Structure 1
Amino acid sequence: MKSTTLSVGAPIEARCTKCRKNTGHIIVTMAEKDPVKVQCNKCNRQHKYRPPITAKKPAGRQTADPKVAERKEWAVLRPGMNSAEATNYSMTAAYKVQALVNHPVFGLGLVQRVAGPQKVEILFEDGKKTMRCK
C-alpha cells in the first residue's frame, strides 16, 4: 500500500486514532515531503498522520506454555495422590493447601494456594483453575 512518491490523494498506511489500528489512509495535506493530515479508509475520519506501529518482538527467550508446565507438574504429583482421601468440591467448603479435591467436571485436584478471600487455586489434570470457596 506504500507509494514511492507521496502526494495529496495517495494511499498510505497509518495508525488511525479512532480505529486504534494500522489501516489504509488517503493523504489529505502535505508539508514538504511528509504527510500532515490523512483520512482513514475504514471510518472516514481525518486526523494527524501517525506512522503505523510495528509489533514488538518479545524480549529474551520465549517462555514455555504455562499449561504444559502445569500438566508436567500434575504428572509428577499424581502418583502420590489417593483419590479415596479426596473431599468432594463445594463452593461453601473451606480448603487448605495440599488438600485433595474431587470436582464433578475437572476430576481429582490438589489445592496449590489460597488465592484470596473465597478463592483457591487447584491443580487439575487440565491445568490450574481458580475456584470459589468459603
Structure 2
Amino acid sequence: MLRVKTVGDIVDSQCTRCKALLNHTIIAMVAGQVVRVKCNTCGSEHNHRPAKEAKEPKVAATKAASARTSTTGAAPRSRAKVPAQSDESIWEEMIRPLDPDLAGPYSMEGKFKANTLMAHPSFGIGVVVSCQSGKVEVVFKTGRKLLRCGC
C-alpha cells in the first residue's frame, strides 16, 4: 500500500540551483499534489520539478497502417524526396571542364570571378561560385566555404 505524501516528506525533485535530481523536503501541497520543495543539499526553495520519465522511441508507422487510420481511406500525401547531391559530386562536376593548373592562389585582398579556379592553402582547389560585398563563395571537395576577398 502506497503512503500518501504530506508536507515534511522527502521527494525526488530536479533542483534549479544544483541542476541535479536530488532529495527535497515538501514545503507546500495543493489538492494532494507537491508544488513547492526545499533542496536538502543546497537549501534553495523552488517549485517541484519531478523526475522526467524516460521516453520510449517512436516507431514509424507503415504506409498500410497510416492508410487504415486515414479518414478518407486514401494514403496520406508525402513530399517527393529528391536525393541531395553531395558537395564532392558538385565540385567534381564544376571542376571537370576547368584546368586545375590554372588555379589562382587565394588571398584575402584578391579579386575573383565566378567559374574560375582558386588554390586555397587549407582547402585545396576550389571553384568560385559567386563574389559579392567582400566575400567569395567557393565549392571545395570538402564542401562550400564563404571566404573574405577584395571584391
**Same fold per superposition (TM over 0.5):** yes
CA distance in 1, matches of 2:47, 2:106: 57
Distance 1:47 1:111, change over 3 A: farther
CA positional deviation for 1:110:
1.0
Match of 1:35 in 2: 34
**Of 58, 80, 88, which aligns to 2:97?**
80
Distance 1:128 1:46, change over 3 A: farther
CA distance in 2, matches of 1:72, 1:15: 51
Compare CA radii of gyration and give the structure with the larger one: 2
**Contact 1:27–1:35 (8 Å) recurs in 2:** no
Distance 1:133 1:37, change over 3 A: same
What is the TM-score with the length of structure 2 in the denominator?
Answer: 0.56
SS at match of 1:80: coil
CA positional deviation for 1:82:
1.2
Match of 1:102 in 2: 119
User: Aligned pair 1:89/2:106, yes or no?
Assistant: yes
Match of 2:48 in 1: 49
Structure 2: gaps (5+ residues): 59-77
What per-residue deviation string (whole Å, max 9, x for no partner) do you get for residues 100-121 of structure 1?
101122110012233x632222
Identical residues among aligned pairs (%): 29
CA distance in 1, matches of 2:40, 2:114: 56
CA distance in 1, matches of 2:144, 2:93: 15
CA distance in 1, matches of 2:139, 2:118: 10
Q: Larger % of strand: which?
A: 1
**Of 134, 142, 146, which aligns to 1:126?**
142
User: Aligned pair 1:24/2:24, yes or no?
Assistant: no
**Contact 2:128–2:138 (8 Å) recurs in 1:** yes
Structure 1: gaps (5+ residues): none
What is the TM-score with the length of structure 1 in the denominator?
Answer: 0.62
Aligned residue runs from structure 1 range 106-117, under 5 A: 106-114=123-131, 117=133
**Contact 1:24–1:42 (8 Å) recurs in 2:** no
CA positional deviation for 1:85:
2.3
